Amino acid sequence: MENKIQAAREKLIVALDVASAAEALVLTRQLAPYAGVFKVGMQLFYSAGPEVVRQIKEQGVKVFLDLKLHDIPNTVGQAAKVLAGLGADIINVHAAGGTAMMQAGAQAVKERAAALGIPAPLMIAVTVLTSVDQRIFHQEMGLAGEIEDRVKTWAILTKEAGLDGVVASPRETSIIRQACGKEFAIITPGIRPAWSVSGDQKRIMTPAEAIGQGASYLVVGRPITGSDNPPAAAQKILQEMAEVL
């Protein structure tokens, strides 16, 4: 079981959805024994700045820099080059930006990493946000068809563009895995253990269900960081993940 717990740790990404580097570092130090990757999103990056990436990595963990780049290809390429220089291990863009934009980001991080002599970060594309349900998808976003079909299409486009994987809800994991193969990385937010509340997430699964569907990484935020005892919550999730590995 110890080996399975360690394997589960490498798959667990804790979302540091806090407003300061001090808060982020407290959580990172508490949770580093239980999670191999920590997610720095817009709130933390915009408030604490690029230095927070280096500070978190000094704790011996990886960083998923979740800024969801989405702009013209040249702008995304230049931004991705800067982010790769910070030492981020995972960087993401929006698949909706199209092939040229994704390729510009992927090429930029490879070139920057090679110039610095560091491993290239995984380049991941966001498909459909987990806060979007079918009603929002149709009525507010004006998109036809089923969410699952759009996610599959964008995942295939992402793979063809040369990126390493996608962010998608756990409900689409098995579809993506079948379409894109076992080496394609699938990062799944919308993870809610049975003992937690769903919050603003719509398309959700438990940790065990998501791992069973073939997720590469699980992103968990509030069920851990909002808990009265974050390490105990993380341990509980690791145990649930390990049981199906």
Choice among 66, 81, 89, 164 that is catalytic: 66
Detail the residues annotated as belonging to a binding site for substrate. 17, 39, 66-75, 130, 192, 201, 221-222
Choice among 4, 57, 68, 110 that is catalytic: 68
How far is the CA of 140 from the CAs of 149, 171, 204, in angstroms? 18, 21, 20
Name residue 232's amino acid: A
Active site annotation includes 182: no
Active site annotation includes 149: no
CA-derived radius of gyration, the chain: 17
Nearest-angstrom CA–CA distance, 36 and 19: 21
Detail the residues annotated as belonging to a binding site. 17, 39, 66-75, 130, 192, 201, 221-222
Full DSSP string of 135-168? HIIIIIT---S-HHHHHHHHHHHHHHTT--EEE-
Choice among 4, 11, 57, 71 that is catalytic: 71
Nearest to 90 by CA among 24, 27, 37: 37
Active site annotation includes 200: no
Residue numbers annotated as active site: 66, 68, 71
